[in-house]
Amino acid sequence: MAFVDEIHLRATAGKGGNGVVRWLRVKETAKGGPSGGDGGRGGDVKIVGVRDLAALAAFRNTKKVRALDGEAGSNYDRHGKDGAPAILKVPVGTVARNRQTGEEVEILEEGQEEVLLKGGPGGYGNPHFKSAVNRNPFESTPGKPGETGDIELTLKLIANAGLIGFPNAGKSSLLNALTRSKSKVGAYAFTTLEPNLGDFYGFILADLPGLIEGASSGRGLGTKFLKHIERTGFLVHLVSAEQDDPVAAYRVVREELKGFAKGLETKRELVVLSKVDLLEGEGGVESRVNALKQASGSEVIALSTFDDVMLKKFSDRLAQLLRAE
């Protein structure tokens, strides 16, 4: 399942309704007097969390969103109706950032609701201006504009495990083998241009775009890849047996994790020597596995997605690790 993970919108909260000048007729009350109602409040711009990871796709062709304005007041001190809010349904894991103010809010739970932009208050009707020296005020105030801003919605994936590694390390093939995902597979770099997801015994696995040296500073797919690792609970780090120096390839990825954000390099990790069917003889596999164990200090599993026995062994171990999380 591919999805949209970043959206930019121009958003405007509703304007408050105008307060009005109105009067009670003398026959309706002994003294008559002002009776203009206040204007309704403008609608807010809100976001609410939903479980649909593809929810941001609904805004793919949307450039502007606007909440409704509040209605003007009316006679008999009746307040105008508040404007309806503009509600943006976003996947759990979305960060909303106001580009003007730098303020951010995060949606971490289904049903969580946050106000991004506040609607303008309604104006006052003429009863507010009545005083001992001014019993028949002809004053009222207009409603005020709502807040406006450029909103950036970014989905930082919340997955149980993320498949990471160099481009063409076999991540998509592994996701397809473990789940019913249909990730694109090809013998060239950057086959995966955005995250793909699959269900693995109730756990969400994410095939994350391939990494190259310098990604933490923007090279290749850069931070488009790395931002999704921040909320991924467990890492499955694939190192292809095709690499001339698997340890060097492993260390490049680890350095990029460390360089992007504090703490990424401390996430639990299972290292996989992938595509071992391309090696001749058991000695080559064993030496590479031992070298990766020494370099990583983590468990290392040799794997070929074409070997049913290897795949079953890996699947069982991954399920065991995920249940222990």
Q: What is the DSSP string of 116-176?
A: EEPPPPPPPPGGGG--SS-SS-----PPPPPPEEEEEEEE----SEEEEESTTSSHHHHHH
H helix or E strand, kind and range, residue 226: helix 222-226
**Right CATH number for 161-323 from 2.60.40.10, 3.40.50.300, 3.90.920.10, 3.30.40.230?**
3.40.50.300
Burial pattern 143-171, b for ≥16 Cβ within 10 A else e, equals bbebbebebebbbbbbbbbbbbbbbbbbb
Q: For domain 6-154, give the CATH superfamily.
A: GTP1/OBG domain (2.70.210.12)
Output the six-digit token pair for 210.
């391939």
Neighbouring residues of 97: CB distance < 8 A, sequence distance ≥ 6: 103, 104, 151, 152, 154
Distance between CA atoms of 206 and 196, rounded to whole angstroms? 6
- Residues forming a β-bridge with 203: 200
Radius of gyration of the chain (CA): 29
> Do residues 48 and 154 touch, judged by C-beta distance below 8 A?
no
Residue 250 in contact with residue 179, Cβ under 8 Å?
A: no
Over its length of 325 residues, how does the chain's per-residue pLDDT go in tens digits?
445 678 999 999 999 999 999 998 766 555 678 999 999 999 999 999 998 877 888 898 899 999 999 999 999 999 999 999 999 999 888 999 999 999 999 998 999 999 999 999 999 999 999 999 999 999 999 999 999 999 999 887 677 898 888 877 888 889 999 987 654 443 433 344 456 778 898 888 888 765 544 433 444 444 555 666 777 888 999 999 989 899 999 998 888 777 765 567 788 899 999 999 988 766 789 999 999 999 999 999 999 999 999 999 999 999 999 998 7
Torsions phi, psi of 303, nearest 5?
A: -150, 140
Q: What is the pLDDT of residues 74-111, one digit of tens each?
A: 999 999 999 999 999 998 889 999 999 999 999 989 99
Query: Counting Cβ atoms within 10 Å, is residue 118 exposed (0-12), middle (13-18) or buried (19+)?
Result: middle
Same fold, 6-154 and 161-323: no
Q: Do residues 102 and 72 make contact, with C-beta atoms less than 8 angstroms apart?
A: no
Whether the predicted model's global pTM rises above the 0.95 cut: no
Q: What is the C-alpha separation between 71 and 274, in angstroms, rounded?
A: 63
Tokens linked to 216: 């933490």
- CA angle, 45 then 49 then 50, to 5°: 125
d(CA 123, CA 243): 69
Domain residue limits, the chain: 6-154, 161-323
Distance in angstroms (rounded) separating the CA atoms of residues 222 and 218:
4
